[in-house]
Every structure is written in C-alpha cells, then in structure tokens.
Structure 1
Amino acid sequence: NQKAIDKDKELAGYNMLVTSEINMSSKDIYNAYHQLWQIEESFRIMKSELDTRPVYLQKENQIKGHFFICYTAVLLSRILQFKILENKYSASTIYDFMRKFRVVRINSTRFINLLTSKEFVTDLSKKLNQPITNYYLTDKQLNSIPT
C-alpha cells in the first residue's frame, strides 16, 4: 500500500500526543509530557542506578529511611544534571562518573586520580571549581572535594 507508506514517511520524526486537555496550548501539552518523562526516568534511575530494590529491611522506619536517601540522591543528581550541567549530560553519565571516581594514595600527602578525563569530567570540574581533572591530588585538594 504505497499511499500508507508515503503517509508514514511524511510523518516520520514527529510525535503525536493525544490528550483530553482542550484549554492548553500545544507547547504546554508537550512540556507536560516532557516533565512526565523526566519523572519516569527518575524512578528508573532509582531502580537501576541506585539499586533501590529489592529491599531487605523489615522495620518501617528503616524502609522509609532507605527510600528517603534514594529520593534525596535522585533529587541532588537531577539538580546537578538540569541546573548545574544544563541538561548537557545524561543521568547515566553522571552516575557512571560517581562510580568510577577513584584515587590512590602514593605517599602521606599525595594521591593519583585514576579517573580518565573526558569532556564530562572537564565540564564538571569547571562548573564546580573542583580539581577532579588533576592527575596528582594533594590531601588538601582531595579534602576540598565534596563527598
């Protein structure tokens, strides 16, 4: 059916959103959908990046505390992603950095940064004014990096 193929090609690259909202502009509908996607991604981050499940806790306060910490971690990482890094990098890039940042003590006052420098690390270093791109780190520099 060539007519159907031609119609599909004409609409390729477009998304269609169906809604019952009749008083919202197209842009407002798109923004609401985009925010919903961000919320869903936040829950996916909690499951995959933070391993929120399975929970082997039994006391209600422990379970609530566990999820409170996970929600706070997601909130802080999303602030970093959207406000500080201006949504230039994905959440997985941010969490990958957090997992891989390692230093090794070489003597009583110096460390070697084992992290491979990438565009993300350079941008983060500039935005946060932190020495995470330095190969050698002193005790003072390392202690100045927030953890």
Structure 2
Amino acid sequence: TEKRLVTYNPKLASKKKYEIAKQIEKARNLCYSQAKRSEYGDLGKYVNFIDEDGEKAKASINESMIEKELKFAGYNMLVTSEKDMDDIDIYNTYHNLWRIEESFRIMKSDLDARPVFLQKENSIKGHFLICYLAVLLERILQFKVLNNQYSTHQIMKFIRSFKVVKGESKYINVTASSEFIKEFEKITNLPLTNYYLTERQIRQIFNYKI
C-alpha cells in the first residue's frame, strides 16, 4: 500500500551529529549537577534514570542510544502511496514542497495579502486572485528569467524601489544601484541603470516580454 524511500545526506549527517554532540554535553552537565528528572526534557532520551521516584534523578548517560542516534544521522525516510513513481521523482517532489510554503510566505509578507480589509465575497476573492497572479509572475521571473540565482526578497526589493521622475524632456532614474539591477539589465538588455531615460526607453521597459 506504500513505498518507502531512504536517503542519506552527508551535510545533514554532519549538522545532525553536531546537534547531538551539543545535546549530549547538556545532558552530561545535568547528570553532574544531579538535576531533577523534569529538568532534562527532550535530553532525557540520552540518559538512563535509576531512581524514578525521587525528586533528584540518579542518572547516567545512555551510550547505546547515543551510538544509535549517531549511526542514523543523515538518513531520512520518505513514505508515499505513489508506488509506481520513480525514486528520483519522489525525492525531487518532496524537496520541492518547501516552494509551496515559500509562496504562501511571499503572499503574507512581501505582498501583504493579509489582513484583508474587505467584506464582499467577490472583493475578497479578487484580492487573493491578484495576490496569486503576482506570486505566479514573480516566480516566472525568478526561475525562467533569472535561473533562480536571486531570492524573492531581492526581486521584490527591486520591484518596490525602481523609480523614475519625469523631467522637462526626459525621465530621471532615481533608483539606487545594486548588483541585482546590473545583472538584470544584462539579462533583459533593458536600460535599467541609465540615469536619463527617454519616453521610448520607458515604453521599452513596460513592454518587455519574457
């Protein structure tokens, strides 16, 4: 009824072993200070408690549990009902789930989707539809144009900060220079770093198509 896929990540193993070492050190210090059992919390799994009834716990480090934790550090099991799905597809699908969560964070933080100061149902639906479309366009720009080389925060900062002021005959670009803008200009071939912009160049920027 299910398929199980076990993976191993060396970087995750190194990180996990470091965390285990810190927890063991805390557990040892609690043992030396004869701390109460309630003070151990999650660290209790690394300790053998001899006296369970007393206020003070007579404790010793559980070496077998530490050995087991270190042995399996870096391993992860994925369980799915997709029995016919290729292993690599299962792995990639699982590790792309965070992008869905990130998209919701973008709407909540960068796009200020909430709170919603609307009452009519159609207005509320319209509000979130615009937010979803904005996230979609931002994601297309991020992955298809910029090859995922820049974060959402950098892209949104550019969108909010890019400003021009209309002068007597030309537009003046008052946007602060950044590495992102310079790279974006190379990719799109748009005059984003020009100090003076003509009417034609402004139209070129607005009419740019991916």
- Shorter-chain-normalised TM-score: which range? 0.7 to 0.9
1:36 to 66, 89, 97: 97
Larger radius of gyration: 2
Report the Cα distance in structure 1 between the residues aligned to 2:182 and 2:106, rounded to whole angstroms.
24
- Provide, for residues 67-120 of structure 1, a one-character-per-residue CA deviation record: whole Å limited to 9, x for no partner: 111100000000000111111111111101111111223x32222212222222
One-letter amino acid matched to 2:171: F
Question: What is the CA distance between 1:17 and its match in structure 2?
Answer: 4.4
- Tell me the C-alpha RMSD between the 2 structures: 2.2
Report the Cα distance in structure 2 between the residues aligned to 1:141 and 1:23, rounded to whole angstroms.
53
1:91 aligns with 2:152: yes
- 1 or 2, which has the higher strand percentage? 2
Gaps of 5+ in 2: 1-62
Gaps of 5+ in 1: none
Question: What is the CA distance between 1:7 and its match in structure 2?
Answer: 4.5
Identity within the alignment, %: 52
Change (3 A) 1:135 1:23: same
Question: What is the CA distance between 1:139 and its match in structure 2?
Answer: 2.3
Equivalent residue for 1:139? 199
Q: Within 5 Å, give how 1:18-97 maps onto structure 2.
A: 18-21=78-81, 22-97=83-158
- TM-score, length-scaled by structure 2: 0.60
- TM-score, length-scaled by structure 1: 0.82
- Provide, for residues 34-53 of structure 1, a one-character-per-residue CA deviation record: whole Å limited to 9, x for no partner: 22111111111000010000
Question: What is the CA distance between 1:24 and its match in structure 2?
Answer: 3.9
Greater mean alpha carbon deviation, residues 35-44 or residues 133-142: 133-142
Of structures 1 and 2, the one with the larger relative CO (CA 8 A, separation 6+) is: 2
One-letter amino acid matched to 2:94: Y
Report the Cα distance in structure 1 between the residues aligned to 2:75 and 2:179, rounded to whole angstroms.
31
Change (3 A) 1:47 1:15: farther
Change (3 A) 1:4 1:118: farther
Greater mean alpha carbon deviation, residues 66-75 or residues 25-34: 25-34
